[in-house]
Structure 1
Amino acid sequence: MTSPGGTGGAYDFCVIGGGIVGVATAHRLLTTFPGSSLVLIEKEAALGAHQTGHNSGVIHSGIYYPPDSLKARLCRAGAEWTKKFATANDIPFRECGKLLVATDSDEHERMLALYERSIANGVEVEAIDADELKRREPRITGVGALFVPATGIIDYTKVTAALADQVVAMGGKILLGTTVDAITENTSAVTVSGSNGSVSAGTLIVCAGLQADRMARKAGIDTDFRIVPFRGEYYRLPARRADLVRTLIYPVPDPALPFLGVHLSPTIDGDLTVGPNAVLGLSREGYRKGSVNRRDAADVLSFAGVRQVARDHFGTGVRELRNSLFKRGYLAECRKYCPELSTADLLPHRAGIRAQAVLRDGTLVHDFLIERTPRSIHVLNAPSPAATSAMPIAEYLVEQLDSVN
């Protein structure tokens, strides 16, 4: 198969972004077009420094998403790929399963609707009653639950590192600590200029996560959206509580709300975490509570779409902020399904930041969003389950190359 990179650049391919999606894309390009030249550019000193390294490590099943969406299709394929890749590369993972717990009649009704969606998505799922829930998880309370056996846990930074090693072994070059200042495209190549000089490539693929909209604007794409950072705060339970549950415990999601809610998540390292909430952030990469970046804050507060989101979800936003400031409010979310938890159980843990694309009219983009120029592809929105779906996303991007060259 001939590389579509063209002859106008020093490299056939350039990938911007060293998260799991960017590294998987580099891996897929070199697998599909063996012998091609490729450079991956990452501004941080290590790969997977942001969303890849700040999530709960869940291998998602695809249960939540509309059956005809990219999310649903790519998540199912991604879960299978992740487990196979981990097995082949001695990366620890555990298929612990997930329980979505309904705590009242309204949630139970939503649970049954989600069961039907799961069947339509081809996801193995079991509906259980309160007695069976108590038998399986004695410390969890609910009127019923859905059990998804395929859900697992893993460390996605280890997956990213293994992919990167293979990229280098196939001849790819990885440039760390390299910021991108400008992207210039002509009929034969794309030039990426940054802190360590310039590189030229026949084809550019940008997987920039929290900086996706800014990279798109550097490339001359007219973006009618903004990446809005939502800070997800986690707590860790004490070691004596690490065996509180055997499976992941999630609330039944409310379709009127943009995020999944606070859940109990065993980690592959043996911890048990609680979270995340979802608080509007004023710093795209500020993980400490109260972090403010002037440029990021101006981007958020000046964008009409964010103001519309605030109006549409005012009550939810107030509740999430209150729960961020006061541990008791956060605890109340957990005690709906795990009543024995106390404030003393909530120990500090690292936060994550979700890159959420918001349109000018206030619509939160829930599916993957991709834009093209003649010689580039930009991944503009890759929310959860992007880590699970990384390789199928990469395959999808590579399939698009015929349309950009």
Structure 2
Amino acid sequence: MKYDYVIAGAGIVGLSIARELNRRYPEARIAIIEKESDVAKHSSGRNSGVLHAGFYYTADSLKAKFTRDGNRAMKRYCEENGLKVNNCGKLVIATNEAELEGLAELKRRGDRNSVELECMDESDVSRIDPNVHTYKKALFSPSTATVDPVEICQCMKREIASKGVELFFDTRYSEHRGEAIRTNRGKFICRYFINAAGLYADRIAHDFGFGLNYAIIPFKGIYLKFARNKSDVLTNIYPVPDLNNPFLGVHFTKTVDGSIKIGPTAIPAFWRENYRGMYRFKLGEFSQVMYYMTKLFIRDSFHFRRLAINEMKKYSKAHLIGLSLKMVNQLDRKGFGEFLQPGIRAQLLNKQTLELVQDFVLEGDASSIHVLNAVSPAFTCALPFASYIVDQVEEKLVGKRLDWERGRDQAQGVPG
């Protein structure tokens, strides 16, 4: 099986890369290999469904640009394909005087990133959602929306398949030898390999000699549904985040169908697919994760001890509900149902500094490229991020051709 491009991973990033490659090179042979039975079985199908606006991130980050542009691009994609969008907006609220400076910093970032963000007082907030409780001020993001991530991924799968992209499910990457990508279902020969494997992106990158300074450590995100009604909360409600780590804290999400849920947690997971019980337990993964978690706990990098202890408490439904109730005037705590299916966040750790990497990371050469850190909000960013990745691939292939031409000229005695 010979292809121009082989992509590992059929999440939103892998699908978007295939779509962008097909758009630029409609005659190219493109394949996606995916170890699961369908698209979006991990982070892409287990996230909040929020299309973020792009005001959390520093202006010099890739996330800032891709989130802003991706919000617009994904809404446009949904409109063009008849997919659901809930344009419900988002309020970021404060709970005390100290958090007002956090709101001010978010407003400065939003302004630098050219993201619409309205500063409101309590009376303005009540007009957006009368049930929201804030301390003096809040920020309103009118461009924040919610979608159905699985619906989008399924639509994109159908689109690229109809244009000739081949998808191979239940196909697990094993190793590479030159242009040969070996899997449990045979060998794929490719001119260029693109690693968008999410939770296992670092493992595949290491096999190519890339990403050696990094390891992925997993964090479990759990949501709890408010089952009583869909009307007690009208918009997404978020607390002021700790900008020193990539987690946004427990918040209210207004889903695409108008339902209400709270979460997510950021509970340290013990292996990469630690969704429930001993599901897909792997001793090697457990050992590696515990090694790095222990180092983080001992050194207390980015206040990991406090983070881990506070997050573990969120396994308690009563505790999780209590955190959410601080953001609303009233809500029946007995109205919450069961926990929804958990997701695992593939968070990149710098092994030297023991810091969580908060921006996208790519490494590669003229034969392969590796998406080492498709960190949240990767779903929002997917379309412009895919375009950026394909730009990087083109640059590396052009460089390869120029190097080959220089080598040929030197061999023939042609002056450089």
- Do these two structures clear the TM 0.5 threshold for a shared fold by scoring above it? yes
2:390 alignment partner, SS class: helix
Partner of 2:34: 42
Q: Residues 157 and 298 from structure 1, CA distance in 2 versus in 1: closer, same or farther, beyond 3 angstroms?
A: same
Q: Output the CA distance in 2 between the equivalents of 1:131 and 1:51.
A: 37
Q: Would you say 1:265 and 2:253 are equivalent positions?
A: yes
Say whether 1:392 aligns with 2:384.
Answer: yes
- Which residue does 1:356 correspond to in 2? 347
In the other structure, the counterpart of 2:234 is 246
Partners of 1:28 and 1:394 within 8 A in 2: yes
Q: 1:237-270 CA deviation, whole Å, 9 max, x = no partner?
A: 01x3321111111111122343100111111133
1:204 aligned counterpart, secondary structure: strand
1:225 is aligned to 214
Q: Quick one: distance in 2 between partners of 1:316 and 1:24?
A: 33
Q: Which of 317, 320, 323 is matched with 1:330 structurally?
A: 320
1:106-159 CA distances to partner (integer Å, 9 max, x unpaired)? Answer: 111211121111111100011111122223222221122100000001012221
Matches of 1:340 and 1:279, distance apart in 2: 27
Letter in 1 for 2:328: C
* Structure 1 residues 13-63: Cα deviation after superposition (integer angstroms, max 9, x where no partner): 111100000011011001111111111100000101000000010011101
| Bigger mean CA deviation after superposition, 201-210 or 297-306 | 297-306
Tell me, in whole angstroms, the C-alpha distance in 1 between the residues paired with 2:291 and 2:346. Answer: 17
Distance, in Å, in 1 between the alignment partners of 2:71 and 2:127 is 28
Question: Which of 305, 308, 320 does residue 317 from structure 1 map onto?
Answer: 308
Is the Cα–Cα contact under 8 Å of residues 85 and 145 in structure 2 kept in the other structure? yes
- Of the structure 1 ranges 42-51 and 106-115, higher mean CA displacement relative to structure 2 is found in 106-115
Tell me which of 194, 215, 228 is aligned to 2:183. Answer: 194
Give 1:287-302 correspondences, 5 Å limit.
287-288=275-276, 292-302=281-291
Is 1:275 the counterpart of 2:267 in the alignment? Answer: no
Equivalent residue, structure 2, for 1:5: none
What amino acid is the match of 1:336? K
Which of 358, 372, 375 is 1:380 aligned to?
A: 372
**Contact 1:27–1:164 (CA<8 Å) still a contact in 2?**
no
- TM-superposed CA distance for 1:225, in Å, is 1.3
| The one of 164, 174, 177 aligned to 1:171 | 164
Q: What SS does the aligned partner of 1:318 have?
A: helix
Specify the alignment match of 1:4 in structure 2: none
Read off the aligned partner of 1:316 and give its amino acid letter.
L
Deviates more, 1:258-267 or 1:281-290: 281-290
Matches of 2:287 and 2:250 in 1, distance apart? 29
Deviations 1:286-323, CA, capped at 9 Å, x for gaps: 32267654232112112376446755321121111112
Tell me the TM-score normalized by structure 1: 0.92
Give 1:367's aligned residue.
Answer: 359
% of aligned pairs identical? 33
Distance 1:47 1:116, change over 3 A: same
Q: Which of structures 1 and 2 has the bigger CA Rg? A: 2
Q: Distance in 1 between matches of 2:130 and 2:170?
A: 48
Q: Which residue of 1 aligns with 2:404?
A: none
- Residue-pair matches, total: 391
Q: Output the CA distance in 2 between the equivalents of 1:314 and 1:31.
A: 47
Distance 2:59 2:381 in 1: 15
Aligned partner letter, 2:201: A
Whole-Å Cα distance in 2 between the matches of residues 184 and 302 of structure 1? 30
Q: Distance between the aligned counterparts of 2:266 and 2:46, measured in 1?
A: 14
Aligned ranges 1:105-144 → 2 under 5 Å: 105-143=97-135, 144=137
CA contact (8 A) 1:130 1:145 kept: yes
For the 8 Å contact 2:296–2:304, the answer to whether it is kept is no
Asked whether the equivalents of residues 306 and 358 of structure 1 are also in contact (C-alpha less than 8 Å), the reply is no
Separation in structure 2 between the aligned mates of residue 308 and residue 175 of structure 1, nearest angstrom: 43
Could you say what the CA RMSD is over the residues aligned between the two structures, in angstroms?
1.7
Deviation string 1:350-402 (CA, Å, 9 cap, x unpaired) is 11111100011211000000010330010000111100111111100110123
Preserved contact between residue 102 and residue 142 of structure 1 (Cα < 8 Å): yes
The one-letter amino acid of 2:312's match is L
Alpha-carbon spacing, 1:366–1:308, altered in 2? closer, same or farther (3 Å)? farther
